[in-house]
Amino acid sequence: MASKVTPISGFQEWLPRERIAELIVLDTIREVFELHGFASINTRALETVDRLAGQGADADKEIYGVRRLAASADEPVEFGLHFDMTVPFARYVLENAGKLTFPFRRYQIQSAWRGERPQRGRYREFIQADIDIIDAGELPDHYEAELPLVIADVFSRLPIGDYSIHANNRKICEGFYRGIGIDDIIGTLRIVDKLDKIGPQAVRDLLIQTGATERQADLSLALAQICTSDTSFVAQVRALGVEHPVLDEGLAQLANVVRTAAEHAPGVLVADLKIARGLDYYTGTVYETVLDRDPAYGSICSGGRYDALASDGKRTYPGVGVSIGVSRLLGLLIGEEGLTASRETPVAVLVAVNDEQSRPESMRIGAALRARGIPTLVAPKAAKFGKQIQFADRRGIPFVWFPDAGDGGGDQVKDIRSGDQVTADRLSWQPNPADLRAELVVPQHN
């Protein structure tokens, strides 16, 4: 008896042409990360629940616990699936500190899992592409200015359209709040972080409900509403009349980030003082990236500086990192906007089969082409050539190779898009570089 297939929401499963598009995006990200000197690591899917819990307001509620089906009901859940790459990376650094060379630059492209309600752009299982720079003892501030440049390099090579990296520094918020007499820094940050979702009046009401005075609430809102594309945010903060040494430090650090971005990736980064990031471990610069055409979609790339996440009690390993939400980005580009690949298979050449008796010769041709790095498939049937061409066309395969039929004409290769057909040598023929691999196809919308 056949069982009914029931879809599970919150997971991406692409068709072959879409999956190739996803792989092209992932390969592009990996290439740029390596160009900037980041080394790849891979961490386990499971972490202890104790390590995962407590990293944000709702982190413990989002963790998928993992245990044996045969476990007793009162057996505690020891392990959970990681919900990001930063927490596992911090553990990895502590376990391998004696074997790593600092400062350590790593990238990690893996799946993560969150037990939250699936909705637009948010999934139960998703791919993240992270970079982090971590050091032993101290981490220079200039790394906080470097990471947005890596992201700008990635996005310049992908068809994502106009975007903006919004940056803030948690020290600005902390110093400002302390300067006006607010002690609950984390609680205030979490409320202000809701500004785009609930609006300024609701944020003001929440701040007052949780103990802030009207003056403190108004000043907190005034700070959060400062957003500039240059370093003029410093003067705007100063004009609010608040003083604190931590505030001074945060302003100087963010100004350096803005200046560096303006030189190397002009027009990409803005100082946006409402950006807070919900996770508690951030201590310095924080980033969120939004698409200009759809800001409501939310951040597609975020991260920040953390100073105490990786510590063994004797030594602390501060770091700064940023994560591209690959599944989130592709949910829009592929799932909603129709980004795809030029073919549904990696194959560039289909070798035709004249008849089944000559199939071994077609297989020899295929082997010769593959030996030179050309993705090749031998036709499954010795059908009429028209049907073999149709087989290739339906899959987006650009070339069909016709073995010598014994009439002295030699092997022939046909570009089925243009109809051009030429004599070819299996040991030297090469397609154009653009035809060797599938490419992204950006849909043309009216």
User: Which residues make up each annotated binding site?
Assistant: 84-86, 114, 128, 132, 277, 281-282
Q: Which of 94, 111, 157, 151 is nearest to 310 (CA)?
A: 94
Q: Which of 252, 275, 295 is nearest to 164 (CA)?
A: 295
In 44-124 the beta strands, taken as DSSP E runs, fall at 46-48, 65-66, 79-81, 104-113
**Using only C-alpha atoms, what is the Rg of the chain?**
27
Q: 349-351 and 376-378 as β-strands: parallel, antiparallel, unpaired?
A: parallel
Strand order in the sheet with 421-423: 376-378, 349-351, 399-402, 412-415, 421-423
Q: 163-169 and 269-272 as β-strands: parallel, antiparallel, unpaired?
A: parallel
Residue 80, both tokens: 């959970």
**Cα gap 106→82, rounded to integer Å:** 18
CA-CA distances (angstroms) from residue 246 to 183, 216, 253, 379? Answer: 14, 18, 11, 69
**Cα gap 63→42, rounded to integer Å:** 20
In the annotated binding site for L-histidine, the residues are: 84-86, 114, 128, 132, 277, 281-282
**Cα gap 142→257, rounded to integer Å:** 8
Cβ pair 63, 81 in contact under 8 A: yes
Rounded to the nearest angstrom, the gap between the alpha carbon of residue 63 and the centroid of all alpha carbons in its chain is: 20
